[in-house]
Structure 1
Amino acid sequence: MVRKIGFGLIWLGFITYAFLFAPPNDPNTSELIKNMLVFQWEGINPLVIALFNLLGIWALIYTAVILMDGRGQKVRAWPFAIASVGVGAFAILPYLALRDPNPQFEGKKSLLIKILDSHLTGMAAALIAGALIVYGLQGDWANFVQQWHSSRFIHVMSLDFCMLGLIFPSLLGDDMARRGWKNHQLFWLFALIPFFGPLVYLSVRPPLPDTEIKN
């Protein structure tokens, strides 16, 4: 219960900060998002483009964990997974506040879970993330810092990226247990390496068991 209350308070605090204390909303934000979605990147700082797309990689990472975790939960995981594509940690934090510990997986794996459980998915995500980071490093850091201080979208997007990294270990232990992988050293390795720790984990974790549901 303490764990659930803690995540609930973090979620409320994050929302409060984003809407009351973050920099004001830039009137050009909607146009910026639209242009990034349709790949009209001319004139946009590569750092902003990279960060925006790396949040999509985070959504994939979390989807590849919480859909398995959701099997056996009272709360369905898929609405939170879908919402995380658009709002990141604002969708994951309430799931963490509502879920119960779940170190088991029972039943047949669906096609989607098989795809997300594949090492190829993790490796592809890691390669795309690496390419995005290389692209982003060509950006203008001074301009990014200026936007971080003046644009709510850039400011909150940056904090969202960091928050997703901080809360990932809360799901990692159960996911390793579902796979019979009990190694505390590897847990901390995957948990403490920023961003790429979870991607390496998806690329090397043992597959889930595929068993019939017991009556």
Structure 2
Amino acid sequence: MLFVYLMRENIMVGVVAKPNLVSCNFPTLKNKYSIQPHTSTTTTTALVSRCCFIRLSSSCKVMTKKPFAASFRKKGSIVICHDSNKESEVSRSVVEVVEEGKRDWTTSILLFLLWAALIYYVSFLSPNQTPSMDMYFLEKLLNLKGGDGFRMNEVIVSEWYLMGLWPLVYSMLLLPTGRSSKSKVPVWPFLSLSFFGGIYALLPYFVLWKPPPPPVEEAQLKTWPLNFLESKVTASILLASGIGLIIYAGLAGGDVWKEFYQYSRGSKFIHIMSIDFTLLSTLAPFWVYNDMTARKWFDKGSWLLPVSLIPLLGPAIYILLRPSLSTSVIAQTPAELE
């Protein structure tokens, strides 16, 4: 009897010592308290190491489950292995769908109303007392007329050439950090039209724009137009030109500024150009902030945000001092931003 009792105890100890507690799949159990032992503890150890500790292309999640046997006083664990690539693709798709559903259209609607009101105003309500003089001014500024002895107002000349620099400023701020998500709305047509239409051509893009910007390849940084827009030489020429034009207008006498004010009240051409310059100067600090955060330079460059309020010169100074574009910063997925 003593021999039989010892044999029974050895069998029970062997069964309890080798339970099937860890698996990469859910085990099929006969009942709530059944235990499926492995034939070798080495196999169990290798399986645990393979599932949990060697994470080359999979990840293991531990889930709590009820006790396997009445003799155990603590909860067991099941290790479930998943493919990390599939999980990342699924989570990324879910985040994108959630972000799409959570998009706030309030700002876009307000910008659209601003653009519609602006177009209506310049078309029907803006002053138009000197249409023949407006055509003459335009021909003079385009160098189509000369030698007639008429001296153009210095402030008008300065504003005209500053309007030619603004599209370059916005191109350097919007490409590539201001592009719309996944390039659903290309920015280059709006930037091209802005050389002729200014803010009137850019506002529709601002209405449709949605962050974050799509990834940019490293090879793109060395090709046109990014290599030109990211160049410090371009930024230096832009800043120097802006300083020269503003000094040229600033040195004009008080009579010249009064004359400019009178022109802006009666001339449709001067009036529309002045509104264009004001709105471009007003919206530029936002795009400076957007570019600054995309380059992860806000901590060091936040002092440039108040500077960007200076018409044209402020954004030009930021463009000159900002860090070079990093593909690791721009090529962020929505899941990473989340």
8 Å contact 1:11–1:93 — kept in the other structure? yes
1:84 and 2:189 are equivalent in the alignment: no
The amino acid of 2:187's aligned partner reads A
2:257 is the alignment partner of 1:134? no
Contact 1:105 1:208 in 2 (8 A): no
Contact 1:101 1:174 in 2 (8 A): no
Is 1:207 aligned with 2:327?
A: no
The answer to which structure has the higher helix fraction is 1
CA-atom RMSD, angstroms? 2.4
Task: Say whether 1:114 aligns with 2:227.
Answer: yes
Is structure 2 residue 111 aligned with structure 1 residue 13? no
Report how many aligned residue pairs link the two structures. Answer: 214
Name the amino acid aligned to 1:80: F
Cα deviation for residue 23 of structure 1 reads 0.6
Correspondence 1:47 to 2:155: yes
1:38, 1:196 → 2: CA distance? 26
Instruction: Check 1:64–1:141 CA distance in 2 against 1; reply closer, same or farther (3 A cut).
Output: same
Question: 1:56 is matched with which residue?
Answer: 164
Is 1:75 the equivalent of 2:185? Answer: yes
The structure with more strand, counted as a fraction of residues = 2
CA distance in 1: counterparts of 2:213 and 2:185, whole angstroms: 16
CA–CA separation in structure 1 for the residues paired with 2:294 and 2:216: 9
The residue that corresponds to 1:164 in the other structure is 280
CA contact (8 A) 2:308 2:318 kept: no
Rounded Cα–Cα distance in structure 2 between residues aligned with 1:185 and 1:26: 45
User: What is the aligned partner in structure 1 of residue 310 from structure 2?
Assistant: 193
CA 1:180–1:105 in 2, change beyond 3 Å: closer, same or farther? farther
Check the 8 A contact 2:127/2:265 in 1, yes or no: yes
* CA spacing shift, 1:40–1:123, aligned 2, 3 Å: farther
Residue 79 of structure 1 and its aligned partner are, at CA, apart by 0.9
- Which consecutive unaligned segments of at least 5 residues does structure 2 have? 1-104, 333-338
Contact 1:191–1:198 (8 Å) recurs in 2 = yes
Structure 2 CA distance for aligned equivalents of residues 50 and 37 of structure 1: 13
SS at match of 2:127: coil
The one-letter code of the counterpart of 1:59 is P
CA distance in 2 between counterparts of 1:193 and 1:44 reads 25
Question: 2: CA distance between counterparts of 1:67 and 1:185?
Answer: 20
Q: Distance in 1 between matches of 2:257 and 2:119?
A: 27
* Alpha carbons 2:295, 2:323 under 8 Å: kept: yes
Question: Share of identical aligned residues, percent?
Answer: 29
Q: Which residue of 2 aligns with 1:100?
A: 210
Encode CA deviations 1:98-142: one digit per residue, 9 max, x unaligned: 110225642122321111112221221111111112222326112
Q: Which moved more, 1:52-61 or 1:36-45?
A: 36-45
- Name the CA distance, whole Å, in 1 between partners of 2:262 and 2:161: 20
> Is the 2:295–2:325 contact (alpha carbons within 8 Å) kept by the matching residues of 1?
yes
Deviations 1:24-61 (A, max 9, x none): 16223233223212285752111111001101111110
1:187: Cα distance to partner?
5.2
- Structure having the higher Rg: 2
Q: 2:142 matched to 1:37? A: yes
Greater Cα offset, 178-187 or 156-165: 178-187
Does the 8 A contact of 1:122 with 1:199 survive in 2? Answer: yes
Contact 1:89 1:164 in 2 (8 A): yes
State the alpha-carbon separation in 2 of the partners of residues 171 and 92 from structure 1. 12
1:2 counterpart = 2:123 = no
Task: Tell me the TM-score normalised to structure 2 length.
Answer: 0.58
SS in 2 for 1:44: coil
TM-score using structure 1 length:
0.89
